[in-house]
Every structure is written in structure tokens, then in C-alpha cells.
Amino acid sequence: MNTDVLALGALVLAAAPCGLFLVNLFLYRRLGPLDSGRGVDSVSVLIPARNEARNIVASLEAVLSTRGVCFEVVVLDDHSTDDTAAVVSAIAARDERLRLSSAPPLPAGWCGKQHACHVLAGLARYPVLVFIDADVRLSSEALPRISAFLRDTGSALVSGVPRQELGSFSERLLLPFIHGLLMGYLPMAAMRRTRKPSLSAGCGQLFAVDAKSYHTCGGHGAIRATLHDGLKLPRSFREAGCRTDLFDATDLASCRMYHTDTETWRGLSKNAIEGLGAPRTLFPMTPILLGGQVLPFLLLAYSSQLSSLAFGCTLAAVICALLPRFVAAFRFHLPLGSAFLHPIGVVALLGIQWRALFRYLLGRSEQWKGRSYPVASTKSRSGVTLLLAGFISFGNGSLTGFSALNPLPASGGGVGASSLSFVCKSFDLQDQYEVRHSVVFPRTNVIVLTLADRQGNEQVDPWVTAVKGRYAGRLELLGVADVSAAPSFVRGTIRRRFQKARPQPVLMDWEGSVARSLAAKLRQANVYVIGPDGRVMLHTFGSPEPASLERVFQMLDTLLTKSP
């Protein structure tokens, strides 16, 4: 390829994120000082803690030094095997603002942190909930300023990236990309103008939410299976129609996320497949990052062989690639030296993402905090072929999807099933024929909705057959295919496979929004019984065993008896 074209392409790919980064500098602002005498909402600081004895003391001492707001601190000991509980208990004995609670057993289908945060939210007393990791240290003015920002912006959720304390080589090489990717590829002006889920962003180290909105949106229960709350929690709020925002937390909080090279690589790998490492993101982002952040340096190494045009474009591209790193180093107190290793860091970051993707395709589990989180298995197949292979066996009938679930207290449930009371708002998606389907509640019929990803699709047909055979004509059968794992460039192939295998419309959940909102169990068929008013009254998953079928039939009999 002509080096002039390569150099010009590199310049375009480097200049676009550089320009957006500089624009975002004026939008991603630190919070101003709080006006004297101005009241702010009381705050519940919620800290999930699993084996955090080395971090929790500094975190608690920092938050207990808070001034200017009424607050409480609740720590949930999540089955720690170290001295976390004893350390927190000793501090709680001296300060009544601090409470310690123990986490109940981790239910199936939940990530440990999301479950801990869900439990903590139920223990909170105040209208503003601030979730922080146990290694985050807040300044004495952080809580009132964050509470005021949440109220002033009219947001349901706000988040900020604390100042990152970096020690090991891998921390210095990789963690500055938190700011680089956030500010170089997220149009913050558009994020604030709209509530599009695709513009979701946040940092899992520090979230502040309005308690009422949190419970209305489903809170951490809506993202129970994810390891990537930084991205998924804001997305779930936006899917529910709520506003989210970002602020610069450099002067309000600090965090030493990892302490060794091994911790850094494992920590960045654990949720990569849900973020940058997701196929639909990684495939386009790899050439974009390599072309704009690595290629200019390779071309510069051969500068003597470049034309004047190519050399000028290459030099400009190098400047555009490095400028955000140096600006970020000063603005966010990041190590300056690592900026000179920028292209190496990009390659290392992409290496982590691709490794995570291959582990995902091979069905390898991720280990974190002593827990194993399985991913979808590809058995003996590999690559994109496997992503296509199984999306051909889902439920029949008319289709729809749901947003904004409001979990209310419920009783009952059991292994593989739960009794729910989710309020479903209107939602619409396209089927395999690219026809858009919408639904608005209340409606006339009781609904049975089946939802499955590739691994769970074989379990769907027995459910549909059983329900259809007993209730034909008396209810509405809906089906949703969770195809969020498939990269965008194979969507046409998947649609054609569905058209061939299923003449009935099948709603294609490309973004996984329906699956997330309904807290669907991965690699299983999910069956939801939904009343005419839009309440999901029962959720069961897996194969239709006699006990689970009986639960569904009992619920349907009850609802159909009440229906006119």
C-alpha cells in the first residue's frame, strides 16, 4: 500500500480521538466547592468488601472524616476469608455512623459484587446511595459535592474516575487508558443531550445514585450476572429512560486498584469480554487503535523512506497520539514516563482483550476474588462460526421486549426459578425480517416469553411445546433471541439462518438490552410469565423439568382465571 495513504489514514485515526479528547476536557469537569449554608441530601456510603483487610481501614478512615453532610457507612462482608470483618467491627465499635453486615449466600446467576451492592442498597437509609470499592479513599468534601452534583444535574446516576495510584510497571503502562478511552472515544456532549444506552459510561470504583431511581431501574439486580458494572450499570439506567452523567473525581477520591503486574493483567481480563473485548467492539476497535495509536510510530521509524507528505502526516499523527497522554498525565496526576510507552501500552491492552475473547470462545472461566465466573463454551468449534451456529431454535409466535424493570419484594422461588414482580415498560426491536415489533402495557392477554442465547436455544422448543399444548389460544407466546455475542458484520448471516429455520418472527436482541433488563440466565432457556398489566410474575430457566413446568402451569392457571 502507498505510504502516503497509510500516513494519511493514520493521521485521521489519531486526530479524531485527539480532538474529541481535547473537547471533552472542557466537559469532564471537577466539581466546584459547595456553597456555604447550602443543604444537600443525606448519603449512604455502601462498600462491598471481600478479602479487603489491607485496604478497608484507609477507606473507612477517609470516608468517616467527611464534613458538610449527614451520612452513614455500611460495609457488607462478602464471605471474606481474611480479617476484613474483624477490622471493620473494631472501627464500628468506635463510630456509630459505621455498620457492618454479612452477605447472604451468593445466588446462582449473580456476580459477587453485584449481589453485594444489591444487598447493601436494601440496607441503606438515605436518599442518595454512593457505592465505592473498598480500595477507594474519599476526600472530606467528596460526599456533599457529589450529592449536590447529582441533584443539580437532574441525573439518576453519576460516576467519576478517582485519581489512580500506580505502582507496578503494568499499572503504569495500562491503567492510564481508563481516561484515554473514556475521553477519546465517548462524545460527552451527546451523552448529556440524550439518554441513549450506547453512550453509557461510568467507573465501577465510584457511583452515586438517587435511591428512588435506583430501585425503579432495578439497580444491581438488572446487571446481576455482569462483571463490568462500570459500563453496564449506567446502561441499565439509560435503558430505563434515566439520565446519567460523569464528573472528574481526581480531587475527590483516589484508588490503588491493583498492586502487582499479575493482579493488573487478571483484573483487566476479568470483564474485558463485556467491554472493549466484546466481539462487536473489538473487531472495529482493533484496526482503529492500531492504525491511529501504533502505526504512526512504525512509520516514523522509517521516516527516511517517506515522502514529504507521508512524513508530515506521520509526524502530525504521532503528535495527535501522544498529546492526550501528556495532557492526561498533568490533568489526572498520571505518571509522565508511561506516556512515552504509549504504542506499547496499546498493543498490550489489545492483547489482553483478544486473550479474553479467545478464552470466551473456548469456554474458559474467569477467576476473581476466589470465585469462578464461567463464560459461554464453544466446545470443539471456534471463532465466528460458533457465534453463528446455534441461533436457529427459539420460541414461536409474536414477539416483544422490555425495559426498566422494577423489582419488588417477592416470596417463593427456588432452584432454577423465582417469583418476581417486575414492571415492564414499552420496548421495541426488529425481528429477523427487519420488521419492528412494539408492545405497550396494559394489554389483553397473559404472556409467556421465552428468551435464550445460543447455548440455551435447545431448551426452548420443549417449553413452547408444553405451554402451547395446554394453553393454545388462551395466551400470547413471545420469543426473544439474545444475539448480543455476535459481531455486527455477521448479522445478515444470522438473520438468514433465522428466516430459514423459523418462518415466525423472532425478535433479535442485538444489544442484549432485553436479556439484561430481564436478568436472563446465561446459557439457559429463560421463561417468563407476564400478566396483562406488564408484571413479570415468574421467571424460570433451564430445561422444562416436571417441578418447573408445574410452577409455570400453576401461575398461568391463576392468571388466566383472573383475566377477563
Q: What is the pLDDT of residues 253-311, one digit of tens each?
A: 999 988 888 888 888 887 777 778 778 888 899 999 999 999 999 999 988 888 999 99
Q: Does residue 453 surpass a pLDDT of 50?
A: yes
What sign does the dihedral 523-529-533-535 (CA atoms) show?
negative
Looking at 213, 238, 256, which one is the last position of a domain? Answer: 256
pLDDT at 374: 57
Between residues 225 and 153, the one the model is more confident about? 153
- Under the banding of pLDDT at 50, 70 and 90, the label for residue 372 is low
- CATH number of 199's domain: 3.90.550.10
Looking at 207, 240, 256, which one is the last position of a domain? Answer: 256
Least confident interval from 155-169, 170-184, 262-276 = 262-276
Contact partners, residue 278, CB within 8 Å, separation at least 6: 485
Q: What is the DSSP letter of 410?
A: -
Q: Does residue 508 surpass a pLDDT of 60?
A: yes
Domain membership of residue 101 (yes or no) is: yes
pLDDT averaged over every residue in the chain:
84
pLDDT at 417: 47
Q: Does residue 427 surpass a pLDDT of 60?
A: yes
**Residue whose grid cell is 467519576:** 160
The rounded distance, in Å, linking the Cα atoms of 314 and 348 is 22
Q: Do residues 444 and 532 lie in contact, with contact meaning Cβ atoms separated by under 8 Å?
A: yes
The rounded distance, in Å, linking the Cα atoms of 150 and 132 is 16
Domain count, the chain: 2
Domain limits at 408? 386-562
Domain membership of residue 339 (yes or no) is: no
Domain membership of residue 67 (yes or no) is: yes
Domain membership of residue 96 (yes or no) is: yes
Q: What are phi and psi of 393, to 5 degrees?
A: -140, 85
pLDDT at 6: 92
- CATH number of 472's domain: 3.40.30.10
- Under the banding of pLDDT at 50, 70 and 90, the label for residue 371 is low
pLDDT at 381: 30
The rounded distance, in Å, linking the Cα atoms of 208 and 10 is 39
pLDDT at 401: 31
**For residue 439, which of 498, 480, 486 has the smallest C-alpha distance?**
480
Q: Work out whether strand 136-138 and strand 71-77 pair parallel, antiparallel, or are unpaired.
A: unpaired
Q: What is the DSSP letter of 290?
A: I
Q: Do residues 484 and 510 lie in contact, with contact meaning Cβ atoms separated by under 8 Å?
A: yes
Q: Does residue 109 surpass a pLDDT of 70?
A: yes
Mean pLDDT confidence for 87-97: 94
Mean pLDDT confidence for 522-528: 86
pLDDT at 399: 32
pLDDT at 518: 80
Q: Is the domain of 72 the same as that of 217?
A: yes
Between residues 57 and 373, the one the model is more confident about? 57
Domain membership of residue 308 (yes or no) is: no
Looking at 238, 256, 274, which one is the last position of a domain? Answer: 256
Contact partners, residue 112, CB within 8 Å, separation at least 6: 48, 50, 78, 106, 369, 371
Least confident interval from 32-41, 175-184, 416-425 = 416-425
pLDDT at 487: 75
Between residues 220 and 420, the one the model is more confident about? 220
Q: What is the DSSP string of 291-354?
A: IIIIHHHHHHHTGGGS-HHHHHHHHHHHHHHHHHHHHHHHHTT--SGGGGGHHHHHHHHHHHHH
Q: Is the domain of 52 the same as that of 200?
A: yes
Q: Is the domain of 83 the same as that of 227?
A: yes
Domain membership of residue 292 (yes or no) is: no
